[in-house]
Amino acid sequence: MPTADQNDILFERARAVIPGGVNSPVRAFKAVGGTPRFIRRAEGAYFWDANDKRYIDYIGSWGPMILGHGHPAVVEAVQKAVLEGFSYGAPTEREIELAEAILALVPSMEMVRLVSSGTEAAMSALRLARGATGRKHIVKFEGCYHGHADALLVKAGSGLATFGHPTSAGVPPEVTQHTLVLEYNNIAQLEEAFALHGNDIACLMIEAIAGNMNFVRATPAFAARCRELCTQHGALLVFDEVMTGFRVGLHGAQGVLGITPDLTVLGKVIGGGMPLAAFGGPRAIMEQLAPLGPVYQAGTLSGNPVATACGLATLKEIARPGFYEALGKKTRSLVEGLKAAAAAVGLPFNADSEGGMFGFFLMNELPQNYATVMTTDNAKFNALFHGLLDRGVYIAPALYEAGFMSAAHGDEDIAATVDAARQIFKALQAR
Ligand SMILES: Cc1ncc(COP(=O)(O)O)c(C=O)c1O
């Protein structure tokens, strides 16, 4: 008799007490079907599910685990911090150290405020941008995700001059009526929006290398136009680097593109897997925040001593010379291996990467925007996902998510992944 699948058992138990059985929707495998794997433990480049099956982990907690799981220096820092207390609700020296470390690596930021999640950081940056400019409107792009604050859960309206509609129940249209949703990489539309509304725009928020519509880069011309138009119209340019910060390179997407935003939103890697995020920018803007200025923002667990210990230890490792060169090389070798395997069987396929972040597409051209990403053949992607999962390779369970490499992944992991993909590609092409 086959032994019972422990993931199935846990999923059933979870669904009885947690909506959908998960605490964040994408974990539910709704897009790809099947039972989510319940993770018991992780080490290096791997995690193990409830059946004790091992997977090569390419989600890395959706970005934070850039060193792999259980890096000894990080574990030591966290263990030490835990013994000194979990949370005080009063300032600590470690918060200053982490702030100093972040500012040293992100030159566009002169001051930073620590918070607990990317959602909180993006939401607070938005309030700050509105407070600092005294304006209401915000610009975002279809396919970019900035957390689940009400004003950011918006899809494009029917025409450019119209503002967005909520993408979630529970968000009143009044809350999104100031959010303009534009097409990513569409310069003409961007120019038109600023021509129509420029003087009322508080900020333009963008993932300059987008990781929430798989992996799509802003073209250099588009990113430069965002900067120019914001400057010209007195709007703030906000780079949401929750995913790209310390992930695509030591200086984030702003370093890769050579563009200086006004505000930067960070998360994921800066917490090393603990709940920690941040937003920051020039002193004059950041001093608009409470307790100095009129823009209110606060948090019971902000700058938590255990999370800051984890983040600091992580930043120390990634700032070592050569870290991103090695990581980028690994990621490129995966991407090139997959491309070659697909080409060998004539499967339409393309892929891209920067630092420790990558994306691949079941199409010949790299997409430039969300609408193109969403033309991916769903059934083929799902077959690829499940084929890899069966073979012990865990990629994001949705075609609109990016992939993440860690420093702990070895050549043998990459070879095993390409090998698994090769077997599936053959079957996909024959479909
Ligand atoms: C670019 C970006 N911004 C904001 C967020 C929200 O962060 P969190 O999930 O920590 O609230 C995410 C989460 O994936 C993200 O990718």
Residue closest via CA to ligand 1's atom 9 equals 118
277: part of which helix (H) or strand (E)?
Answer: strand 277-281
124 in Cβ contact with 286 (< 8 Å): no
Tell me the average pLDDT across 171-190. Answer: 95
CA of 101 to the centre of ligand 1 (A): 21
Please say which residue of 275, 292, 318 terminates a domain.
Answer: 318
Q: How far apart are CA 126 and CA 133, in angstroms?
A: 11
Of residues 373 and 3, more confidently modeled = 373
Q: Using a 6 Å cutoff on CB, does residue 119 contact ligand 1? A: yes
| CA separation for the pair 23, 40 (Å, rounded) | 16
pLDDT in the model for residue 160: 55
**In terms of C-beta density within 10 A (0-12 exposed, 13-18 middle, 19 or more buried), how is residue 12 classed?**
exposed
Looking at 278, 299, 318, the residue that finishes a domain is 318
Q: What was the pLDDT predicted at 3?
A: 78
Does the beta carbon of 181 sit less than 6 angstroms from any atom of ligand 1? no
On whether both 30 and 148 belong to a single domain, the answer is no
Does the beta carbon of 240 lie inside 6 Å of ligand 1? yes
Give me ligand 1 centre to Cα 244, in Å: 10
Q: What are phi and psi of 114, to 5 degrees?
A: -90, 140
For 174-196, what is the mean pLDDT?
Answer: 96
Compute, in angstroms, the gap from residue 307 CA to the centroid of ligand 1.
17
> What's 367's domain CATH number?
3.90.1150.10
Is pLDDT above 60 for 161?
no
Query: Which residue range(s) make up the domain with 294?
Result: 72-318
Please indicate, yes or no, whether residues 266 and 380 belong to a single structural domain of this protein: no
Q: Is any atom of ligand 1 closer than 6 Å to the C-beta of 212?
A: yes
CATH code, 265: 3.40.640.10
Cα separation, 36 vs 29, whole angstroms: 6
Give the ligand 1 atom nearest the CA of 240: 1
The answer to whether residues 282 and 103 touch, using CB atoms and an 8 Å cutoff, is no
- Per the listing, tokens 């990459």 go with 414
Last residue of a domain, one of 318, 333, 351: 318
Q: Residues 388-421: pLDDT tens digits? A: 999 999 999 999 999 999 999 999 999 999 999 9
Is the pLDDT confidence value at 137 over 70?
yes
Residue 118 CB less than 6 A away from ligand 1: yes
Contact 242 CB / ligand 1 (< 6 Å): yes
Active site residue 240: yes
For position 429, what pLDDT does the model report?
87
Tell me: pLDDT of 158 over 70.
Answer: no
Catalytic residue among 57, 240, 262, 352: 240
64-99 pLDDT tens trace = 999 999 999 999 999 999 999 999 999 999 999 999
Q: What is the pLDDT of residue 367?
A: 97
CA of 1 to the centre of ligand 1 (A): 43
Lookup: tokens for 76: 């030591």
Looking at the structure, do residues 46 and 137 belong to the same domain, yes or no?
A: no
Compute, in angstroms, the gap from residue 215 CA to the centroid of ligand 1: 15
Is residue 235 located within the same domain as residue 204? yes
Do residues 310 and 369 both lie within one domain? no
1 within some domain: no
pLDDT at 164: 83
Same domain as 80, residue 20: no
Q: Let me know if residue 32 belongs to a domain.
A: yes
- What's residue 171's pLDDT? 93
Q: What is the mean pLDDT of residues 157-165?
A: 69
Q: What is the mean pLDDT of the chain?
A: 96
Confidence tier at 162 by pLDDT (50, 70, 90): low
Are residues 338 and 214 part of one domain?
no
122 C-beta closer than 6 A to ligand 1: yes
Ligand 1 centre from 148 Cα, in Å? 8
68 lines ligand 1 (CB under 6 A): no
Other beta carbons within 10 angstroms of residue 284's beta carbon come to 11
pLDDT in tens, 224-252: 999 999 999 999 999 999 999 999 999 99
Q: Candidates 26, 119, 123, 254: which one to mutate for ligand 1, based on the most atoms within 8 Å of Cβ? A: 119
Q: Are 175 and 362 in contact (CB under 8 A)?
A: no
Residue 152 domain flag: yes
Of these residues, 268, 352, 370, 380, which one is catalytic? 268
Number of domains in the chain: 2
Does residue 170 register a pLDDT over 90? yes
Same domain, yes or no: 110 and 161: yes
Task: Say yes or no: CB of residue 207 within 6 Å of ligand 1.
Answer: yes
> Based on the domain organization, do 294 and 376 belong to the same domain?
no
Is 340's pLDDT higher than 70? yes
57 is a catalytic site residue? no
Model confidence at 215, in pLDDT bands (50, 70, 90)? Answer: very high
Catalytically annotated residue among 55, 58, 145, 324: 145
pTM over 0.95: yes
- Residue 51 clears pLDDT 80, i.e. is over it: yes
62 Cβ inside 6 Å of ligand 1: yes
**Cβ proximity of 229 and 191 under 8 Å:** yes
**How confident is the model over 311-339, as a mean pLDDT?**
98
Q: Are 101 and 215 contained in the same domain?
A: yes
pLDDT at position 427 over 60: yes
Report percent pLDDT > 90 for the chain: 96
Q: Choose the residue to mutate in 24, 27, 212, 217 for probing ligand 1, maximizing ligand atoms within 8 Å of C-beta.
A: 212
What integer is the mean pLDDT of 325-331? 98
Asked if residue 247 has its Cβ within 6 Å of ligand 1, the reply is no
- Asked if 101 and 306 count as a contact pair (C-beta separation under 8 A), the reply is no
Q: Which residue, by CA, sits nearest to atom 10 of ligand 1?
A: 118
Q: Does the residue 214 lie in any domain?
A: yes
Classified as helix, coil or strand, 314 is helix
Atom number, ligand 1, closest to the C-alpha of residue 267: 10
What pLDDT, on a 0 to 100 scale, did the predictor assign at position 1? 62
Do 308 and 414 lie in a common domain?
no
213 and 164, same domain (yes or no): yes
The CA 266 to ligand 1 mean position distance, Å, reads 9
83 within domain boundaries: yes
Where residue 155 falls among pLDDT bands split at 50, 70, 90? Answer: confident
Is 266 part of a structural domain of the chain?
Answer: yes
Which residues sit opposite 165 in a β-bridge? 155
132 alpha carbon – ligand 1 mean position (Å):
23
